[in-house]
């Protein structure tokens, strides 16, 4: 299968990192196509960044489907434009936050999330509630480090993440921890070894979920909320599939 991995921000190195994590767990017959938009924010850190990134992402998903993509992964933990993406795609579209929380709820009765900046905490808390994980998510923690700093100072990022994961275990009663940023994907295994907890990365969770859904033969529902967008003058799309 052809799996389209979308990084909604314009930082190509973050796309490549997510791609490496995805390919590490992908099945032998899964081809992962990466996409980085040229004119979106360098990182997604808030609702305005999300809004600016979504139109290019939707166009890319449509183009990928025309090339034969069977599924799509949105590699941003805010799951920006997820419902809109499901409108424009026939194949399943997986957000890494939703995928990670579903794994966390399977592996642990209580878990915490560790993200980058404090401003992301209420956004992720609302997502956890919307995805049915509100009671089981003990806390959303932030290391107070911008997204791009995960690459600029990886040693500091590792240490801050390790500290917050241990705090989640001792202070929150978390039995597992979800990494709240796609830019943390390659730290997942190291953090699990260092802390002794299940540490869940949304990129790999989303890839395996996409493979499973496609393997079962399912596609996105096209009646009701996820029906194709109506073609209209001034709309994003001039025609529908």
* pLDDT tens by residue, 94-110: 999 999 999 999 999 99
DSSP 35: E
Same domain, 134 and 212: no
DSSP 231: P
Same domain, 90 and 116: no
Q: Which residues contact 168 (CB under 8 A, 6 or more apart)?
A: 112, 114, 138, 139, 141, 174, 177, 197
**Total tally of structural domains belonging to the chain:** 2
Residue 148 lies in a domain: yes
Q: Picking from 6-10, 151-155, 176-180, which range would have the lowest pLDDT averaged per residue?
A: 151-155
Distance (Å, whole) CA 23 – CA 203: 10
> In which domain, by residue range, is 171 found?
97-201
Does the pLDDT value for residue 241 go beyond 50? no
Q: What is the DSSP string of 154-205?
A: HHHHHHHHHHHHHHIIIII--SEEEE-SGGGGGGHHHHHHHH-S-EEEHHHH
Same domain, 87 and 102: no
Same domain, 169 and 121: yes
When the pLDDT of each residue in the chain is averaged and rounded to a whole number, the result is 95
Residue 63 lies in a domain: yes
- Tell me what pLDDT residue 235 has: 67
Residue 169 lies in a domain: yes
Please tell me whether residue 31 adopts helix, strand or coil conformation: strand
The pTM (predicted TM-score) of the whole model is 0.94
Under the banding of pLDDT at 50, 70 and 90, the label for residue 237 is: low
Report, as an integer, the average pLDDT of 66-88: 98
pLDDT tens digits for range 103-140: 999 999 999 999 999 999 999 999 999 999 999 999 99
Same domain, 108 and 197: yes
Residue 233 lies in a domain: no
Tell me how crowded residue 135 is: count the other CB atoms within 10 A of its CB.
9
- CATH number of the domain enclosing 10: 3.40.50.12500
- Tell me what pLDDT residue 231 has: 85
Residue 229 lies in a domain: no
Which helix (H) or strand (E) covers residue 14, if one does?
helix 12-25
Does the pLDDT value for residue 165 go beyond 70? yes
Same domain, 35 and 90: yes
Report, as an integer, the average pLDDT of 4-21: 96
Does the pLDDT value for residue 233 go beyond 90? no
Same domain, 55 and 131: no
Same domain, 152 and 72: no
Q: Which of 144, 119, 140 is nearest to 128 (CA)?
A: 140
Same domain, 62 and 140: no
Under the banding of pLDDT at 50, 70 and 90, the label for residue 240 is: very low
Residue 24 lies in a domain: yes
Under the banding of pLDDT at 50, 70 and 90, the label for residue 232 is: confident
Same domain, 8 and 46: yes
- Tell me what pLDDT residue 238 has: 56
Same domain, 23 and 84: yes
Residue 238 lies in a domain: no
Same domain, 196 and 101: yes
- Tell me what pLDDT residue 220 has: 98
Residue 234 lies in a domain: no
């Amino acid at each position: 299968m052809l799996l389209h991995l979308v990084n909604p921000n314009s930082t190509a190195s973050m796309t490549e990192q997510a791609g490496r994590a995805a390919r590490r767990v992908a099945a032998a017959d899964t081809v992962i196509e990466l996409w980085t938009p040229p004119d979106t924010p360098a990182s997604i850190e808030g609702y305005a960044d999300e809004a600016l990134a979504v139109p290019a992402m939707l166009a890319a998903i449509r183009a990928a489907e025309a090339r034969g993509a069977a599924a799509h992964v949105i590699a941003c933990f805010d799951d920006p434009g997820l419902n809109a993406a499901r409108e424009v795609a026939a194949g399943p579209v997986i957000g890494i936050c939703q995928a990670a929380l579903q794994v966390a709820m399977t592996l642990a009765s209580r878990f915490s999330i560790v993200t980058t900046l404090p401003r992301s905490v209420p956004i992720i808390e609302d997502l956890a509630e919307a995805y049915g994980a509100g009671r089981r998510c003990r806390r959303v923690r932030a290391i107070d480090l911008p997204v791009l700093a995960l690459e600029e100072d990886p040693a500091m990022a590792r240490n801050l993440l390790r500290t917050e994961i241990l705090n989640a275990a001792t202070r929150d009663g978390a039995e597992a921890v979800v990494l709240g940023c796609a830019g943390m994907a390659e730290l997942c295994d190291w953090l699990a070894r260092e802390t002794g907890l299940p540490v869940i990365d949304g990129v790999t969770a989303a890839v395996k979920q996409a493979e499973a859904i496609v393997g079962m033969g399912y596609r996105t529902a096209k009646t009701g909320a996820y029906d194709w967008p109506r073609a209209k003058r001034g709309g994003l799309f001039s025609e529908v599939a």
